[in-house]
Amino acid sequence: MNLALWLERAGKSHGGRPAIGYGRRVHSDYGELAERAARLAGALRQRFGLAAGDRVAIIAKNSPEYVELMFGIWHAGLAAVPVNAKLHGRESGFILEHSGARACLVSAELESGIAPHAPASLERLVTIGGAEYAALLSADPIRCAEAGGDALAWLFYTSGTTGRPKGAMLTHRVLAMAGHAYLSEVDAAEPGDPLLHAAPMSHGSGLYMIPALARLGVNVVPESAGFEPEEIFELVRTWPRTSMFAAPTMVKRLVDCPADCNAEHLRTIVWGGAPMYVEDTKKALERFGPRLAQIYGQGESPMTISTLSRQEIADRAHPRWLDRLASAGRPYACVEVRIADADDRGLPTGETGEILCRGDVVMPGYWRDPDASAATLRGGWLHTGDVGALDAEGYLTLKDRSKDMIISGGSNIYPREIEEVLLKHKDVREASVIGRPDPEWGEIVVAYVVGNAERAELDALCLASIARFKRPKDYVFVDSLPKNNYGKILKIELRALDAKRTQ
């Protein structure tokens, strides 16, 4: 079924309930939101002449309009292509061309960067909030288009840390399944509960807009449209029972922000998208109490592979509490997970291999990329490219992306294990471990560290907790680490920097 039916129904049954918050105030109720989505849909189909299945891109920072646009596009039976607002115009141009989007809605401050890179296939570039946008909202509303579960709803472009981004095709069924999984296993929201969009709505946070709306929640957008810890805390104080999605780097910034947060008002901070080190989780737990949950997923199985619940994270008395904190939890009910070797043979419990998953929440393939689709989905399983192990209790622990693994003297070394140890030092703020090519060892372990710890102290820490051969042979102290727009550390760039340094 079409996801937009949820909004159409809510507009009828609960029209007066708040639907969108903007900063501290209510921006629109369900009746208004449903009407705006139906009018936008009317404009897209009748004025722009778009046909079922056509793609419409959105290039915008977080804004209240994001919600009406996504649901308006679905209401019209079209597919949305949300593009990360921080991409370079050239990168956005690639996505516009590759997706074949016929129309693009862009926020005013980004338009001049996009326009020169708009491909010939793009027929309309409309400024969100501008005169043409206002005119779209005066179009006649249409009824919600029929769309089967297999219809394309969202082309989710991967962050492209390994090359050109690929468009994971997310259908209405995939998104509905991911939304239900979130509500039943991560955050059982009640009607009226706020979901604060502290992270980009083009990515993980935007996915959670769907379950929030399904439960008649309030999608709250910060006025800064970015991530400002003080503003986030102010909004938590304003909106009781707030949940939010945050990348681990964001959680860290919240922990370090001295402003008063009123944790009692927080329902859940859901982190995911990158590893969170055990030391950081402990600090977050101290600061916010039992209000943290973890999800592990990727665009191809939209943020739904495994989850570690609030209860498990807060259960300090459990004998395996620390192991659990270091894990990414257990598979969601709707996903099968297996660990396989390079030939796709299943591995026994405890052994490390590639994480594969299967279920209704997995994408049917990549847009216009049959080779990548066949390779990634071979044998009917999504090959995540992540390396990990399942323990006897069914908890999944991620090691690293296979390409980040270091092979030194014939031994496999997973950087994360060393990073976890380095972060135990009180003067280490961030750490990232990579392999440096070496004529004798193949690769040697090198740690990039933000902070001012002594080498000897770091060495001693490593010797106390991990095998000697894993200890970094070199430490490089830096002011910051290269990160992408989602706050993920870019090991590829770090390796390139390291190659330059050691030339």
Q: To the nearest whole angstrom, how small is the minimum distance from the Cβ of residue 272 to ligand AMP?
A: 4
Q: To the nearest whole angstrom, how small is the minimum distance from the Cβ of residue 224 to ligand AMP?
A: 23
> Which part of the chain contacts ligand AMP (CB under 6 A), choosing from 27-35, 120-128, 289-297, 337-345?
289-297
b/e burial code for range 206-223 (CB count within 10 A of at least 16 → b)? bbbbbbbbbbbbbbbbbb
Enumerate residues 52-81 that contact ligand AMP by CB under 6 A.
none
Range list of H helices, 104-165: 108-114, 131-136
Q: 48 or 296: whose CB is closer to ligand AMP?
A: 296
Q: To the nearest whole angstrom, how small is the minimum distance from the Cβ of residue 362 to ligand AMP?
A: 13
Range list of H helices, 85-155: 89-99, 108-114, 131-136
Q: To the nearest whole angstrom, how small is the minimum distance from the Cβ of residue 384 to ligand AMP?
A: 5
Q: 233 or 245: whose CB is closer to ligand AMP?
A: 245
d(CA 9, CA 34): 8
Residue in 282, 287, 401, 429 binding ligand AMP, rule: CB under 6 A: 401
Q: 353 near 389, Cβ under 8 Å?
A: yes
d(CA 111, CA 105): 9
Q: To the nearest whole angstrom, how small is the minimum distance from the Cβ of residue 294 to ligand AMP?
A: 5
| Main-chain phi, psi angles of 312, to 5 degrees | -65, -40
Q: To the nearest whole angstrom, how small is the minimum distance from the Cβ of residue 394 to ligand AMP?
A: 16
How do beta strands 242-246 and 266-271 pair?
parallel
Residue in 384, 397, 408, 432 binding ligand AMP, rule: CB under 6 A: 384
Enumerate residues 294-313 that contact ligand AMP by CB under 6 A.
294, 296-299
Q: 158 or 238: whose CB is closer to ligand AMP?
A: 158
Q: 241 or 282: whose CB is closer to ligand AMP?
A: 282
Q: 211 or 297: whose CB is closer to ligand AMP?
A: 297
d(CA 103, CA 369): 22
165 touches ligand AMP by CB under 6 A? no
- CA triplet 208, 210, 211: central angle to 5 degrees? 75
What are the angstrom distances between the C-alpha of 388 and each of 155, 263, 358, 391, 467?
27, 33, 16, 10, 19
Q: Which helix (H) or strand (E) holds 387?
A: strand 382-390
Q: Using CB atoms, what's the residue nearest to ligand AMP? A: 298
Q: 40 or 363: whose CB is closer to ligand AMP?
A: 363
Q: To the nearest whole angstrom, how small is the minimum distance from the Cβ of residue 53 to ligand AMP?
A: 24
Q: 204 or 229: whose CB is closer to ligand AMP?
A: 204
b/e burial code for range 150-187 (CB count within 10 A of at least 16 → b)? ebbbbbbbbbebeeebbbbbbbbbbbbbbbbbbbebbb
The one-letter code for the residue type at 8 is E
Q: Is the dihedral of CA 414, 420, 423, 424 positive or negative?
A: negative
Q: To the nearest whole angstrom, how small is the minimum distance from the Cβ of residue 82 to ligand AMP?
A: 13
Name 120's Cβ contacts closer than 8 Å, sequence gap at least 6: none
Of 373, 478, 369, 487, give the one whose Cα is nearest residue 433.
478
158 touches ligand AMP by CB under 6 A? yes
Site string for ligand AMP, 248-287 (x = CB under 6 A): ------------------------xxxx------------
Size of the site for ligand AMP (CB under 6 A): 16
483 touches ligand AMP by CB under 6 A? no
d(CA 399, CA 396): 10
Q: Which helix (H) or strand (E) holds 251?
A: helix 248-256
Residue in 41, 213, 328, 494 binding ligand AMP, rule: CB under 6 A: 328
- CA triplet 391, 469, 283: central angle to 5 degrees? 55
83 touches ligand AMP by CB under 6 A? no
Q: 62 or 298: whose CB is closer to ligand AMP?
A: 298
Q: 11 or 275: whose CB is closer to ligand AMP?
A: 275
Residue in 159, 238, 262, 402 binding ligand AMP, rule: CB under 6 A: 159
386 touches ligand AMP by CB under 6 A? yes
Residue in 101, 361, 377, 398 binding ligand AMP, rule: CB under 6 A: 398
| Main-chain phi, psi angles of 405, to 5 degrees | -65, 145
Helix (H, G, I), strand (E, B) or coil at 221: strand
d(CA 368, CA 341): 28
Q: 89 or 297: whose CB is closer to ligand AMP?
A: 297
Q: 149 or 385: whose CB is closer to ligand AMP?
A: 385
Q: To the nearest whole angstrom, how small is the minimum distance from the Cβ of residue 88 to ligand AMP?
A: 17
Residues lying near ligand AMP in the complex (CB under 6 A) are found at 158-159, 272-275, 294, 296-299, 328, 384, 386, 398, 401
